[in-house]
Amino acid sequence: MSHQFDSTVLREYDIRGIIGETLGADDARAIGRSFGTLLRRAGGKLVAVGYDGRVSSPMLEHALVEGLTASGCDVRRIGMGPTPMLYYAEASAEEVDGGIQITGSHNPANYNGFKMVFQGRPFFGKDILTIGEMAAKGDWDDGTGSVEQVDVMDAYIDRMLEGLAGIAPEKLASLKVGWDAGNGAAGPALERLAARLPGEHHLLYTEVDGSFPNHHPDPTVPENLEDLIKLVADKKLDFGIAFDGDGDRIGAIDGEGRVIWGDQLLMIYAEDLLTRQSGATIIADVKASRALYDRVAELGGKPLMWKTGHSLIKSKMKETGSPLAGEMSGHVFFADEYYGYDDALYAGVRLIAASARLGKTVTQLRSAMPEMVNTPEMRFQVDESRKFAAIDEVKERLKDSPSDVNDTDGVRVTNDDGWWLLRASNTQDVLVARAESFTEEGLARLMAQIDEQLALSGLKRGPQAGH
């Protein structure tokens, strides 16, 4: 027995494909066989398995469990829920050795995939390639594992509510918050959480529906926040929180309907955290605003710029002992009083806590931030064989530049106008560009520098590519 995956399915941070075209039950079974074999050989045995609200998820979950048990692993099925609930099931129980969540995240409804944790660490990059190599050779151990069904949702909610510990109830009682689950997997957990939170809570689209009838569950796209903005305005709420399809990325708006981007949320969390942990290292990805890095330093923290990608950030947190990290995409990681994984529901609780502890409304916190002029994340198609080579060419040309050039992940150039970034996506054949300045004129000059570097490598900012 062996199995060959479609060449597009095994990716840098996870496994993802189109149901019925590049991903199906046989793939799920083979993932279970390879992951289970690796875990058994590393001395592990018990795997927690969860799935999101997509129509194809139960079918993939069934096949995955078959593969895991056939390799001698025992499986703890936690049922449907957000990805962080699976992370919780893995992190909170000592006897659990690994975890797999079936999720298509924020991809279109016909996609699905797998996010994995292996003995407490992210499973990505070479690990995922190993799954493919083992399947192609049929390098699988045989065994007979057991299966148990465990409901962890109430324990998960209890654990998240600890994020409000020590805050006087009267500071929380008057809060009014809007929430948008986007018909994603976080809906049922959000209902239970909101019922137990102090204050007044208004919920949108908590019914799980894998066809996403109201709007696509990607809170980094402003049009997906329009219903939440309207809710906050109509009900005169303090702020609003939205989730992606599997509940590991957060989006937020303040009481005036302004979007609070991932790096701006991190500024709020950092201000709260650094009042309690002076000098802590706060990690953000290379796409984050200069305003964030400056603010962390101003508050007495150590800002650290790192590579984009939730698995890479989690690994860097463990290495540096950082209690807080985040990405522009809305992944926020709390190792401070939590487990260090990205959990949008918990990030929502911590936004409530930060506002209460700092004694400022979320709108006040957002208003205090410098108004930078920046581009959205621009993604444009480039041939797979050229994407990394082009970035290397840019680095080479800028090595003697008077500007500050950071090559942690692609090229980020800082000068008097602000900064610009050019990096290759790890998951698609696209280059990603972003720029930020203090003025429109400065931004235009930065964009001209990006275009000049692309032209020198025979490329140009062509049509925008989707996620």
Catalytic residues: 105
Residue 416 CB partners (closer than 8 Å, separation 6+): none
Task: State the burial class of residue 396 (Cβ atoms within 10 Å of its Cβ: 0-12, 13-18, 19+).
Answer: exposed
Joined together, the tokens standing for residue 406 give 């950071």
**Do the beta carbons of residue 427 and residue 433 sit within 8 Å?**
no
Strands (E), 307-417: 324-326, 332-334, 373-374, 378-381, 404-406, 411-415
Residues 138 and 64: their CA atoms lie apart, in Å, by 16
Length of the chain: 467
Among candidate residues 103, 182, 114, 118, the one with its CA nearest the CA of residue 345: 182
Rounded distance between C-alpha atoms, residue 338 and residue 324, angstroms: 10
Report the C-alpha gap between 240 and 190 in whole angstroms: 13
- Exposure b/e, 352-390, CB count within 10 A at least 16 = b: bbbbbbeebebbebbeebeebbbbebbbbebeeebbeeb
Token readout for 381 is: 């198609």
Between CA 420 and CA 417 the distance in angstroms is 10
**8 Å CB contact between 98 and 36:** no
| Residue 137, C-beta contacts closer than 8 angstroms, at least 6 positions apart | 2
Q: How far apart are CA 243 and CA 83, in angstroms?
A: 12
Task: List the alpha helices (DSSP H) in 42-139.
Answer: 57-70, 83-91, 126-137
| Residue 408: half-sphere exposure toward Cβ, Cα within 13 Å | 19
Pairing mode of beta strands 250-254, 239-243: antiparallel
